[in-house]
Chains A and B, each alone.
Chain A
Amino acid sequence: MPLKAVILIGGPQKGTRFRPLSFEVPKPLFPVAGVPMVQHHIEACAKVPGMKEILLMGFYQPHEALSRFLVSAQQEFKIPIRYLQEYAALGTGGGIYHFRDQILSGGAEAFFVLNADVCSEFPLQEMLEFWQQHGDMHSFVILGTTANRTQALNYGCIVANADTQEVQHYVEKPSTFVSEIINCGIYLFTPAIFQHIGEVFQRNQQELALEESSNGWQRAEVIRLEQDVFTALAGSGKLYVYKTDGFWSQIKSAGSAIYASRLYLNQYSKSHPERLAQNKPGGPVIRGNVYIHPTASIDNTAVLGPNVSIGEGVTVGAGVRVRESIVLHGASLHDHTCVLNTIVGWDSTIGRWARVEGTPSDPNPNDPYAKIDSETLFRDGRLTPSITILGCSVTIPAEVVILNSIVLPHKELSRSYKNQIIL
């Protein structure tokens, strides 16, 4: 059956927690486990039989990096991929409603909607089969997973019938406990969804007509799937949840990018073993899962991993240690440096014997349902220890220590820093 996929990629005002990395490249293109974040989504969608077209939807202005990415992705996955630019931030529901004709063109009988800022195993085929099995061709499916009781409050919570998986109740970010099953931000819709979104739109318009606001028409089109549509659909027999135990995480902050990298690198041993570096005589020491771009140059006395991604054209000098980090393209790590829990920005340089270190914010490894915390930047007036981020073209001198700090692009440091944002 003909299918489509829509990937919601947001826009510049979204993803501020991803600064300063998002200054250089739109967050959906940020490399996770060696490839752009959204490429993992595209690859999963392209694998589903019957997928006709993939639509990226967001409100970024036309962007060179984005266009180049679309071209190369089309060539690699051999499927049409287009960018639909929303004229304003229309929310998770407003965009697909606005472009409903594009989505349904070509006779699509169902379509997936995926948030770009999640990392997942993407059990799309399984969601499709689940939908086909329970018979109602006009129903919709939300992908859900299990969180622990405290963290579930940070997500959309789903209460479902134990036998049929029909969603009986949906609340977005409740303040009291509702359910451990959370919304993964990945949905399977049929054309009937637009009828429900349309009803929300009508209601918005009516409310705004009473308000006499000049940009009422724009605000009426801002529709949030979660709060406006799912909450209303719960208990109507139209919404179902497909629960997965596969890996899943949000990617809101830089720290979660490193965690997401680890999850995808783990997956590579089955899906893309060619992307994982191997220990070879005369080569650097590789521990655990490591991705190294073919054009990177790594000294054979370096020790990399676990969970390291080395980007295009990166140079890693003698005796360098990198662990739990992402090194973006063009960066240069000089001899004897030690890089831990850090994202090293594009074209940055780290001088000899320097130590660049962050603090991981990983979920509790003893709790199988723990999710990564969406950290606040400050707590009690002090910077929370977190992943160290070097923006693009940052220079770190030799022999210093940079600990739990964020360095904005094009900065040349002259001394050590700890627990600071360096503007």
Chain B
Amino acid sequence: MRALILVGGFGTRLRPLTLSRPKPLVEFCNKAVLLHQLEALRQAGVSHVVLAVSYMSEALEAAMREQEQRLGIRISMSHEKEPLGTAGPLALARDLLAEDGEPFFVLNSDVICEFPFEALARFHRHHGGEGSLVVTRVEEPAKYGVVVCEADTGRICRFVEKPRVFVSNKINAGLYIFNPGILQRIQLRPTSIEKEIFPAMAQDGQLYAMELQGFWMDIGQPKDFLTGMCMYLQALRAQHPEKLHSGPGVVGNVLVDPSAKIGANCVIGPNVTIGAGVVVEDGVRIKRCTVLEGARIRSHSWLESCIVGWSCSVGQWVRMENVTVLGEDVIVNDELYLNGANVLPHKSIAESVPEPRIIM
């Protein structure tokens, strides 16, 4: 089977992290986002994945060559010279996708969940329609594309993008499977699959919805990235508790790379991910944070709801909170207070940021 991952462009919502890496390569819970998806697809029998990118990145290409070997999966890049929206890329990759006549998966690169690819394939074959998408329940559906479907069959009646009145609490989770026939509906031009293709398919009774079990998150921006991290760690606790860290000073769900070092008298967690080669010095308190590879957190600091970028150095007695995001190689001097600071890469912070703002 094949799959197309809509990687898109610059990942501007996840800046400053995406100023240093392409978004699919940002580590989520110590593994590149894209890798979470590739591994799940591989497990579901996918042998060929197409990455639809509108920004060509050498880093991404190099990383993918590595993964091809490791996973035993073929990875092609489909490069849009102009942005083609969410449906256009399918047309661009038409030859690759329709090659074997089998249904193919399509997914947004920002989606993290307990990927149900096998169940989705079964569901799709069972109803025989042209396309199936995964829906999930959320508290605030108006932020997303909302789906109204028949309760017993899952056949979609209506598809409403960001509705202004309450229509349904099930939203499009960004995971699809389509028959190759769908490609006849899509032209090679900027097209929105949610606004142009799905409504037509729904009208024709060809679109079905399968409800997702378990957690779901669009991790395209820092605060959702952290929320998604909490959900993922919770799922990990249920399924693979041995992968989580335990020991003195560890509270709740904490994931620590084996090469990381944590000092004495720290209290880490709940909901913390510590990346490879990270050094956490003595007396540090970390809650609800992601600390990316190579960073150093110096002693007696206190961090809550932050993302610390690769190779950062956070000084002693620093307090960081409220979705502070440090880009790559940021230095935070001792004794500062950062509240909701969004710091671009290679910056040195010498003054406190008491109210949320961007530091360029």
CB distance from B299 to the nearest CB of A (A): 6
CB distance from A338 to the nearest CB of B (A): 4
| Chain A CB within 8 A of B131 CB | no
List residues of A (328-378) whose CB comes within 8 Å of B's CBs.
335-336, 338, 340, 352-353, 355, 357
Q: Considering the chains assembled together, what is the distance between the CA atoms of A320 and B299 in angstroms?
A: 10
In the complex, are the beta carbons of A318 and B265 less than 8 A apart?
A: yes
In the complex, are the beta carbons of A338 and B283 less than 8 A apart?
A: no
CB within 8 Å for A353 and B302 given contacts A336-B283, A403-B354, A418-B354:
yes
Q: Considering the chains assembled together, what is the distance between the CA atoms of A320 and B317 in angstroms?
A: 8
**Which of A335, A336, A352, A399 has the largest count of B CB atoms less than 10 A from its CB?**
A336
In the complex, are the beta carbons of B283 and A318 less than 8 A apart?
A: yes
Q: Considering the chains assembled together, what is the distance between the CA atoms of A399 and B299 in angstroms?
A: 15
| Chain B CB within 8 A of A321 CB | yes
| Chain A CB within 8 A of B21 CB | no
In the complex, are the beta carbons of A338 and B319 less than 8 A apart?
A: yes
Q: Considering the chains assembled together, what is the distance between the CA atoms of A357 and B338 in angstroms?
A: 13
CB within 8 Å for A336 and B335 given contacts A355-B319, A403-B354, A418-B354:
no
CB distance from B252 to the nearest CB of A (A): 15
CB within 8 Å for A336 and B337 given contacts A318-B283, A399-B285:
no
In the complex, are the beta carbons of A338 and B285 less than 8 A apart?
A: no
Q: In chain B, what residue has the closest Cβ to A416?
A: B321
CB distance from A62 to the nearest CB of B (A): 44
In the complex, are the beta carbons of A323 and B265 less than 8 A apart?
A: no
In the complex, are the beta carbons of A319 and B283 less than 8 A apart?
A: yes
The size bracket of the interface on A is 10 to 19
Q: Considering the chains assembled together, what is the distance between the CA atoms of A399 and B300 in angstroms?
A: 11
In the complex, are the beta carbons of A336 and B354 less than 8 A apart?
A: no
How many residue pairs link A and B with beta carbons under 8 A? The number is: 44
In the complex, are the beta carbons of A319 and B299 less than 8 A apart?
A: yes
In the complex, are the beta carbons of A319 and B300 less than 8 A apart?
A: yes
| Chain B CB within 8 A of A401 CB | yes
In the complex, are the beta carbons of A355 and B283 less than 8 A apart?
A: no
List residues of B (303-360) whose CB comes within 8 Å of A's CBs.
304, 316-317, 319, 321, 335, 337, 352, 354
Q: In chain B, what residue has the closest Cβ to A352?
A: B285
Q: CB < 8 Å: which of A319, A321, A340, A399 contacts B282?
A: A319
Q: CB < 8 Å: which of B282, B285, B316, B352 contacts A353?
A: B285
In the complex, are the beta carbons of B302 and A355 less than 8 A apart?
A: yes
In the complex, are the beta carbons of B337 and A401 less than 8 A apart?
A: yes
* List of A residues within 8 angstroms of B282 by Cβ: 319
List residues of A (298-340) whose CB comes within 8 Å of B's CBs.
318-321, 323, 335-336, 338, 340
In the complex, are the beta carbons of A321 and B337 less than 8 A apart?
A: no
* List of A residues within 8 angstroms of B319 by Cβ: 338, 355, 401
Q: In chain A, what residue has the closest Cβ to B321?
A: A401
Q: In chain B, what residue has the closest Cβ to A340?
A: B335
* List of A residues within 8 angstroms of B317 by Cβ: 321, 336, 338, 355
List residues of B (48-64) whose CB comes within 8 Å of A's CBs.
none
Q: CB < 8 Å: which of A318, A335, A357, A399 contacts B337?
A: A357
* List of A residues within 8 angstroms of B337 by Cβ: 355, 357, 401, 403
Q: Considering the chains assembled together, what is the distance between the CA atoms of A56 and B262 in angstroms?
A: 58
* List of B residues within 8 angstroms of A318 by Cβ: 265, 283
Q: CB < 8 Å: which of B285, B304, B335, B352 contacts A321?
A: B335
In the complex, are the beta carbons of A323 and B283 less than 8 A apart?
A: no
Q: Considering the chains assembled together, what is the distance between the CA atoms of A335 and B282 in angstroms?
A: 11
* List of A residues within 8 angstroms of B283 by Cβ: 318-319, 335-336
In the complex, are the beta carbons of B335 and A399 less than 8 A apart?
A: no
* List of A residues within 8 angstroms of B302 by Cβ: 336, 353, 355, 399
Q: Considering the chains assembled together, what is the distance between the CA atoms of A418 and B321 in angstroms?
A: 14
CB distance from B305 to the nearest CB of A (A): 13
* List of A residues within 8 angstroms of B354 by Cβ: 403, 418
List residues of A (355-412) whose CB comes within 8 Å of B's CBs.
355, 357, 399, 401, 403
CB distance from A288 to the nearest CB of B (A): 14
CB within 8 Å for A323 and B300 given contacts A335-B265, A353-B285:
no
List residues of B (284-307) whose CB comes within 8 Å of A's CBs.
285, 299-300, 302, 304
* List of B residues within 8 angstroms of A418 by Cβ: 354
CB distance from B357 to the nearest CB of A (A): 15
Q: Considering the chains assembled together, what is the distance between the CA atoms of A399 and B303 in angstroms?
A: 10
* List of A residues within 8 angstroms of B316 by Cβ: 321
CB distance from B109 to the nearest CB of A (A): 36
* List of A residues within 8 angstroms of B321 by Cβ: 401
Q: Considering the chains assembled together, what is the distance between the CA atoms of A182 and B304 in angstroms?
A: 50
Q: In chain B, what residue has the closest Cβ to A323?
A: B335
Q: In chain B, what residue has the closest Cβ to A401?
A: B319
CB distance from B43 to the nearest CB of A (A): 41
Q: Considering the chains assembled together, what is the distance between the CA atoms of A323 and B334 in angstroms?
A: 12
Q: Considering the chains assembled together, what is the distance between the CA atoms of A320 and B302 in angstroms?
A: 13
CB distance from A397 to the nearest CB of B (A): 13
Q: Considering the chains assembled together, what is the distance between the CA atoms of A340 and B334 in angstroms?
A: 12
Q: List 30 A-B contacts (CB under 8 A).
A: A318-B265, A318-B283, A319-B283, A319-B299, A319-B300, A320-B300, A321-B316, A321-B317, A321-B335, A323-B335, A335-B265, A336-B285, A336-B302, A336-B317, A338-B319, A338-B335, A340-B335, A353-B302, A355-B302, A355-B317, A355-B319, A355-B337, A357-B352, A399-B285, A399-B304, A401-B319, A401-B337, A403-B337, A403-B354, A418-B354
Q: Which residues of B contact A (CB under 8 A)?
A: 265, 282-283, 285, 299-300, 302, 304, 316-317, 319, 321, 335, 337, 352, 354
Nearest 8 A-B pairs (CB), nearest first? A338-B317, A319-B300, A336-B300, A319-B283, A321-B317, A353-B302, A355-B319, A336-B283
Give me 19 other A-B pairs in contact (C-beta within 8 A), A338-B300, A338-B335, A399-B302 excluded.
A318-B265, A319-B265, A319-B282, A319-B300, A321-B317, A321-B335, A335-B265, A336-B283, A336-B300, A336-B302, A338-B317, A338-B319, A340-B335, A352-B285, A353-B302, A355-B317, A355-B337, A357-B337, A399-B304
